[in-house]
Amino acid sequence: MKRRHYFIALLPNAEIQDQVTRLKQYCCDRYQSQAALRSPPHVTLYPPFWWSDEEVEELEKALEAFALQASPVELILDGFAAFPPRVIYIHVVATPALQALQRQLVKAVATPLNLPPTQRHPFTPHMTIAFRDLTKENFHHAWAEFQKQSFAARCWVSHLTLLVHNGRRWQVHREFLLRNLA
């Protein structure tokens, strides 16, 4: 039984994806942190978990059912922040709608499917630009630069995205249209 690594996220529009990817590339070039380039810019709603190929259809059906009752959500990106000593990210405002979407996803999908409890930290919406392979020394240099900068963008997201790891990077497995337009 083959198992793959998945996670569930919101992906911003193409313009914001391009802006964030340029920041990730800058961090790679300037601070030797390339790990963030291995996934599209995103806000994680449910962190990575292992799931068997045989049960992917069950996962997709649960996400489809959830998406039928979930509403599109606005992402508001506002400045830079960090999880010292390794992560620099774009701060995403934890709006009530975004927090509710994440909580509802866990309740409607993760809990019934018994997804592994990988939520070790409270939900802190963010878009990572450098992490994991960012050395502590380079973190301090990069953070000194980014904490002085501004970043502002916003967009509506109408799809929930299931991403899968192909052995080298994360890629979109399937998108689910958030259909509750009430």
For the stretch 135-173, pLDDT in tens is 999 999 999 999 999 999 999 999 999 999 999 999 999
Residue 177's H or E segment, with its range, is: strand 170-177
DSSP state of 146: H
* Assigned domain for 78 exists: yes
* Assigned domain for 99 exists: yes
| Rounded Cα distance, 129 and 43, in Å | 12
The closest alpha carbon to 77, from 123, 142, 12, belongs to: 12
* Assigned domain for 83 exists: yes
The closest alpha carbon to 156, from 86, 74, 88, belongs to: 74
* Assigned domain for 136 exists: yes
CATH code of the domain in which 74 resides: 3.90.1140.10
Count of structural domains, the chain: 1
* Assigned domain for 182 exists: no
Q: pTM here? A: 0.94
Render pLDDT for 35-44 as a digit per residue (tens, 0 to 9).
Answer: 999 999 999 9
* Assigned domain for 59 exists: yes
* Assigned domain for 104 exists: yes
Q: State the residue range of the domain holding 91.
A: 3-177
